[in-house]
């Protein structure tokens, strides 16, 4: 059997991260609320970040943790609760995992079906946070369709 010594991972560029932050911020302004918006790379490390003026201090860390959670498990954070709610040990236990957020506002960033990073938003109810994330993901869809 042939041995493999390395494998390849795609990770988000700063160029893309900035455009996603801009699109997300624009949505935040439209909603009239103050959000922290975070992008992490494939490995979950911070890539780019904006805190809108007046964003709650608490949102700064939550946004980062949501982006981390999404990239580090390749799952949108709002998908966790349905998987937990009828599974009492997970519902009781998993929620204590360091940096794992299990409510909406974090999404993996997928290009050609491959996770290349994560986006996380905090500042409103998670239903607002999700809209801001989705605006960031929509610009990605537009950009990669153009490419």
Identify residues 37-96 at the interface with its own copies (CB under 8 A): 41-54, 56-62, 69, 71-74, 78, 80-81, 84-85, 88-96
User: 36-41 and 46-51: which strand pairing?
Assistant: antiparallel
Residue 119: CB minimum distance to its own copies, A: 14
Burial status of residue 60 (CB atoms within 10 A of its CB: 0-12, 13-18, 19 or more) = middle
Q: Which of 76, 126, 130, 135 binds its own copies (CB under 8 A)?
A: 126
Residue 99: CB minimum distance to its own copies, A: 8
Please give the size of the binding site for its own copies, defined by CB under 8 A. 72
Using CB under 8 A, which residues numbered 3 to 32 contact its own copies?
3-18, 25
Q: Which of 103, 119, 128, 136 binds its own copies (CB under 8 A)?
A: 103
Which of 30, 92 has the CB closer to its own copies? 92
Is 117:47 a contact under the CB 8 Å cutoff?
A: yes
Of the candidates 57, 16, 56, 5, the residue with the CA atom closest to the CA atom of residue 40: 16
CA 104 to chain CA centroid, Å, is: 10
Which of 32, 147 has the CB closer to its own copies? 147
Is 80:23 a contact under the CB 8 Å cutoff?
A: no
Is 88:113 a contact under the CB 8 Å cutoff?
A: no
Residue 41: CB minimum distance to its own copies, A: 8
């Amino acid at each position: 059997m042939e041995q493999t010594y390395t494998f390849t991972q795609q990770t988000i560029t700063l160029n893309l991260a900035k455009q996603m932050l801009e699109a997300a911020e624009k949505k935040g302004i439209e909603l009239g609320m103050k959000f922290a918006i975070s992008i992490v790379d494939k490995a979950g490390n911070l890539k780019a970040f904006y805190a809108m003026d007046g964003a709650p201090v608490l949102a700064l860390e939550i946004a980062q943790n949501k982006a981390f959670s999404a990239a580090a498990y390749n799952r949108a954070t709002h998908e966790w609760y349905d998987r937990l709610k009828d599974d009492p040990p997970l519902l009781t236990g998993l929620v204590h995992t360091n940096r794992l957020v299990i409510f909406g506002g974090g999404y993996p960033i997928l290009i050609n079906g491959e996770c290349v990073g994560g986006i996380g938003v905090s500042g409103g109810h998670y239903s607002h946070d999700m809209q801001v994330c989705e605006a960031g993901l929509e610009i990605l869809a537009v950009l990669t369709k153009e490419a």
